[in-house]
Amino acid sequence: MATPIQAEASNITAPTQFVATGVETYAYRRFGRGSGGAPPLLCLQHFTGTLDFWDPAVTDPIARGREVILFENAGVGRSSGEVPDTMAGMAAHVLAFIAALGLTHVDVLGFSLGGVLAQVIALERPSLVRKMLLVGTAPEGGEDIMHLEKPELKRILDDPQLQGFQRLVKLFFTASESSQAAGQAYAQRLAARRQDRESVSGPKVAGAQLAAFRAWERGDGGERFTKLREIRQPCLVVNGVLDQMISVRNSYALAEHLPRAMLLTYPDAGHGSLFQYHDSFVRQASLFLGETPR
């Protein structure tokens, strides 16, 4: 299974590519070095995030050991179509994209919303997914998931002084000096890509994705977390202990109910723990992906 290797293995410079399925055209970036038959790492993005919101401090070092594919779901950035208002709908686009690229195996890095989609895909098409990194995310029927109306989040979202990446620095990092400094470094890294950028998501994207989150939190009416038992892939669950967007309790539930999940939490960190502790996260991700499955 020969995979093309991009010359520029960085999310600062990798060109945005497009693949058409006949129904939709998806934007994506693909870079890094395939090694020894390891499947590519498919990265599924957070609420309203585009390809431009993947931190090069995370994607680029990982891409030195394996191929990295960043996916833009339908209706986001330059991908065509409408944003589905269900997780199943968004997961169907991920599957269509994987098929369009002709991939038969992937590892998945699902962050937040992307971590939900990773779970849906692993349940629906288990043979496709080898291992999963589930970061800042939640199981179906979880608690305290993306309640943007909470005072601590609303205050940030309503602040007219906070534009662009600065809003993310407040949302994804804690109030401590060191976390905010890490947030500013993250914002600078995201701004380093100067050309070929995606359009920023508007209220339509946010509304549909939030509707999907609300249904996910409500659950399917069955006993909570039982479906997680069916996900047999090795998983690494990661979160910051002070995540205000998706409480760390959801990561505990994932680690307690997924049969093969390790959990890693970071101190003084929020939703963006993988960006704050990018060195540690990359090391842990590389260890996890490189290990022989137990």
∠ at Cα 173 (172, 177), nearest 5°?
Answer: 160
Any contact of residue 246 with a second copy (CB under 8 A)?
no
C-alpha closest to that of 187 among 30, 52, 50, 42: 52
Residue of 212, 260, 282, 290 that binds a second copy (CB under 8 A): 260
The least distance separating a second copy from the CB of residue 205, rounded to whole angstroms, comes to 32
Q: Is the CB of 12 or the CB of 241 nearer to a second copy?
A: 241
Any contact of residue 289 with a second copy (CB under 8 A)?
no
The least distance separating a second copy from the CB of residue 242, rounded to whole angstroms, comes to 8
The least distance separating a second copy from the CB of residue 247, rounded to whole angstroms, comes to 11
Residue of 266, 270, 272, 275 that binds a second copy (CB under 8 A): 266
∠ at Cα 272 (215, 236), nearest 5°?
Answer: 75
Any contact of residue 283 with a second copy (CB under 8 A)?
yes
Q: Pick the piece of the chain touching a second copy (CB under 8 A) from 112-120, 186-194, 207-215, 260-268.
A: 260-268
Any contact of residue 230 with a second copy (CB under 8 A)?
no
Sign of dihedral through CA atoms 231, 237, 242, 243? negative
Q: Pick the piece of the chain touching a second copy (CB under 8 A) from 4-12, 25-33, 62-70, 264-272.
A: 264-272
The gap between the terminal CA atoms of the chain, to the nearest Å, is: 25
What's the CA gap between 98 and 103, in Å, rounded? 6
DSSP string, 70-103: EE--TTSTT--SPPPSSHHHHHHHHHHHHHHHT-
Based on its alpha-carbon atoms, the radius of gyration of the chain, rounded to whole angstroms, reads 17
Burial class of residue 211, CB neighbours in 10 A (0-12, 13-18, 19+): middle
Q: Is the CB of 14 or the CB of 129 nearer to a second copy?
A: 129
Residue of 120, 261, 274, 289 that binds a second copy (CB under 8 A): 261
The least distance separating a second copy from the CB of residue 14, rounded to whole angstroms, comes to 29
Any contact of residue 268 with a second copy (CB under 8 A)?
yes
Residues lying near a second copy in the complex (CB under 8 A) are found at 241, 248, 252, 255-256, 258-268, 280, 283, 287
